[in-house]
Amino acid sequence: MKFKAQMIASFLKGEIDGNPEVEVENISKIEDGKPGTLTFLANPKYEKYIYETQASIVLVNNSFKPEKPVSATLVRVENAYEAFASLLELYQQSKPQKTGIHNLASIREDAMVGENVYIGDFAVIDSKARIGNNVKIYPQVYIGEGVEIGEGTLLYSGVKVYEGCKIGKNCIIHSGTVIGADGFGFAPQADKTYKKIPQIGIVIIEDNVEIGANCCIDRATMGATIIHTGVKLDNLIQIAHNVEVGENTAMAAQTGIAGSTKVGKNNMFSGQVAIVGHLNIGNDIKVGGQSGIMRDLKDGEVLQGSPAINFKDFWKSSAIFNKLPDLRYQVMQHERDIKELKEKK
């Protein structure tokens, strides 16, 4: 399907700089732009490509001032990245939507299934589960006994939701993710073996949460592990039992949170961040990749390192760390010089 620059600008409430009749039918990266495609410029690092891209339309911020002529038609918007995301969402919604219940799906008689759902091949919906309207359950998904799934939620192939867990509205859960497996609870015994502590709680996932592929969110020992509204989790993330993650917090891949830690709102964790158990993490916190959090954090902290420290102190320390071999050599040389002076006396 083709779209003219004028149509795109109207949808985005933007302004056109160039030919309003130019058409596109696909998207591209700005550095690989081809005729008939739309791209965007948000990061100044990529500005050099706008002068050579062959893309027909480029979304740019209103503040963009070209230093050289640009052959593409520009659509100026408040935020080019957000505008591009809106177009992708529109494109996604325009694609044919899966509906219907496949005859190879297994649905227990006492399960409640809403209207306009899609349930794929070999999906299993166990006893007393409740599936809301417009839910999409792809092939080989397991929905355990008593699970509740809110309307508009999407579960991709291979997702497993253990008994009693609750998932809110308009969530997206990607393939391979397991929700509600037992938390890691074992009591050491006198003979050095371990006795399993039954995990009798659940997982609650609120509305508008997205969870990447192959994540694990463990059920609580008692009560609930809670992922609050608007949380975004990347692939390969571990959330342990009784953890609580606050609204609109985002975590990149391979982040892990140990049991009973409470994470506040609007936090951002880069990849491979590790957080020990039983901590209280405040709001509006940013943590750099491969950091280790071993203490409570106050609102607004920006951290890096393991154990994590203020990011400015971390980078100062890193600069010193790189010089340690030379400093060591200098110290050893000074020790030799001092020894020689003492011997001369």
Which amino acid is located at 1 in the chain? M
Question: Does residue 241 carry a catalytic annotation?
Answer: yes
Q: What's the mean pLDDT in 56-66?
A: 96
| Cβ atoms 305, 289 nearer than 8 A | no
For residue 341, pLDDT beyond 90: no
Count CB-CB contacts under 10 A for residue 286: 15
Q: What's the mean pLDDT in 3-15?
A: 95
For residue 112, pLDDT beyond 90: yes
Predicted local confidence at residue 342, as pLDDT: 85
**pTM more than 0.85:** yes
- Tell me which of 228, 241, 278, 334 is the catalytic residue: 241
For residue 148, pLDDT beyond 90: yes
Beta strand pairing status for 309-310 and 302-304?
Answer: antiparallel
Q: What's the mean pLDDT in 265-276?
A: 98
Percent of the chain with pLDDT over 70: 100
pLDDT in tens, 272-309: 999 999 999 999 999 999 999 999 999 999 999 999 99
DSSP letters for 97-155: PP-EE-TT-EE-TT-EE-SS-EE-TT-EE-TT-EE-TT-EE-TT-EE-TT-EE-TT-EE
